Amino acid sequence: MSESIFEVAKRIRDCAIRGEAWADGDLARLVAEAATDEGSSALFGILAEGLSDLFEPRLVDAYARIFSEVIAAALPQYRADELRARYERVRRLRRIQGNPRTVYVLSRVTLGADVAITSVMLDAARRRFHEARIVLVGSEKSYALFAADPRIAHLPVSYVRRGALRDRLAACPRLDEPGSIVIDPDSRLTQLGLLPVCPEENYYFFESRSYGGETDDSLGILARRWAAEVFGIAGARAFISAKEAPDIAADVAVSFGVGENPAKGMPHPFEQRLLALLAGRGLRIVVDSGPGGEEEERVRRAAAACGDSVRIFRGSFAAFASIIAASRLYIGYDSAGQHAAAACGTPLITVFAGAPCPRFTARWRPTGSGPVEIIRVENRDPDGVLARTLEAVDRLLG
């Protein structure tokens, strides 16, 4: 039986983690098969995320070496050595000078990261540049989180999270109009800073995988620190400004979303028992249905025995974020909802499972003005995790 492309990607990843040289033939095969959905999934899901999610400064260099070769192989107008040299330059911290007419802020692509990190950059930009046009470059779903803010305009860009390599590399347009700068919060649109999108002197890059590497601070705290150093703005904060505000009252907003990573969730019957026990306390509960499919089926099964105490919300994430903001408590896994709650100051409980390392949990823990309880899952014992979650509910709701 021939070796799968996922096994090849794992071997390259493991060599990089051990600090060993990977085989040129392995990388060449991975690049060649990245024209297919399966090969692209191996390249990004196994290799890119496998290196990035460890938040090890030395692996940033390995990522740059690998993906400069990947980009140059897919897009012949680039040379790998030039991409790496540019990357080393743009990683260096420097203060923004002058007053640009337009400030482009790139989306991080995932909604939780856009709340936790990108929104901090948007806040710093609107506070520093009072006359500039501030533009979020990203999807309609991301922009919906900020659409009520008249200072923030939108440049629609769709990043294909499932698809061939060339389609992913072609996502971000050139942003080189005169008088503009680009703020890159380590976006997948630029393949974490490797793909040039504007003149180098107009590009400001928050390299989130090694910045603050001597600490276990969250990405929200690191983004604020970077904004203070680069924009000269202290106290920039994560925020949400959504137009959609459903007239739905809830004591507890709940999300069982796992961002396409089942390892972040808990096994049955955790979700069903959690909703039932919350309902038994007389609490009004709104649970997000998610994007549909298997996730929505899980939600409906969990809510089925709870009667009218549990309402299932089916709509945009921006609208659900408004429900979170108006709730007394939010409960969910490591996904976008926790960062929305933190940005809104809503007390929250995160059941944090599936982390590849302790630094991942530290970096992605939600950070905001309200109380935060993290239930770290070391084994998937539904009863034990449920008991700890309910203890946190009692602490936060009194």
The ranges assigned to domains in the chain are 5-89, 102-231, 252-397
- DSSP for 21-83, please give it: PPPHHHHHHHHHHTTSHHHHHIIIIIIIHHHHTTT-HHHHHHHHHHHHHHHHHH-TT--HHHH
Count helices and strands in the chain by DSSP H and E runs: 17, 11
Return the pLDDT at 249: 84
For the chain, residues with pLDDT lower than 50 are 1
Are 382 and 274 spatial neighbours (Cβ–Cβ below 8 Å)? Answer: no
For residue 103, what are the β-bridge partners?
Answer: 134, 181
Cα–Cα distance measured from residue 33 to residue 83, given in angstroms and rounded to the nearest whole number: 22
Dihedral pair phi/psi, residue 320, rounded to 5°: -65, -35
Concatenated DSSP letters of 270-336: HHHHHHHHHHHTT--EEEE-TTSHHHHHHHHHHHGGGGGGEEEE-S-HHHHHHHHHHSSEEEEESSH
pLDDT at 246: 86
CATH among 3.10.150, 3.40.50, 3.10.350, 1.10.3470 for 102-231: 3.40.50
pTM: 0.95
Q: Give the integer Cα–Cα distance in Å for 247 and 318.
A: 14
Q: Give the pLDDT confidence score for residue 390 in this predicted structure.
A: 96
Q: How far is CA 201 from CA 78, 83, 94, 306, in A?
A: 19, 15, 10, 57
**What is the pLDDT, as a whole number, of residue 309?**
86
State both tokens at 16. 């990089």
Domain 102-231 and domain 252-397, same fold? Reply is yes
CA count, 13 A, side-chain hemisphere, 256: 29
- Alpha-carbon torsion 376, 388, 338, 254, what sign? positive
Q: Give the CA distances from residue 96 to residues 48, 93, 160, in Å, rounded to whole numbers and listed in that order.
A: 29, 10, 31
pLDDT at 293 (0 to 100) = 84
CATH topology of domain 252-397: Rossmann fold (3.40.50)
**Contact call for residues 299 and 290 (beta carbons, < 8 A):** yes
Q: Are residues 366 and 115 in contact, defined by beta-carbon separation less than 8 angstroms?
A: no
3-state class (DSSP) for residue 152? strand
Task: Report yes or no: 336 and 291 within 8 Å, Cβ to Cβ.
Answer: no
Report the pLDDT value the prediction gives residue 70, as an integer from 0 to 100: 94
For residue 91, the model assigns a pLDDT of: 95
> In whole angstroms, what is the distance from residue 34 CA to residue 41 CA?
8
Give the pLDDT confidence score for residue 151 in this predicted structure: 97
Which ranges of 75-206 does DSSP label H, i.e. alpha helix? 80-90, 111-113, 119-128, 140-144, 165-169
Cβ-based neighbours of 282, under 8 Å, separated by 6 or more: 309
Contacts of 213 (CB under 8 A, 6+ apart): 55, 56, 57
End-to-end CA distance of the chain: 59
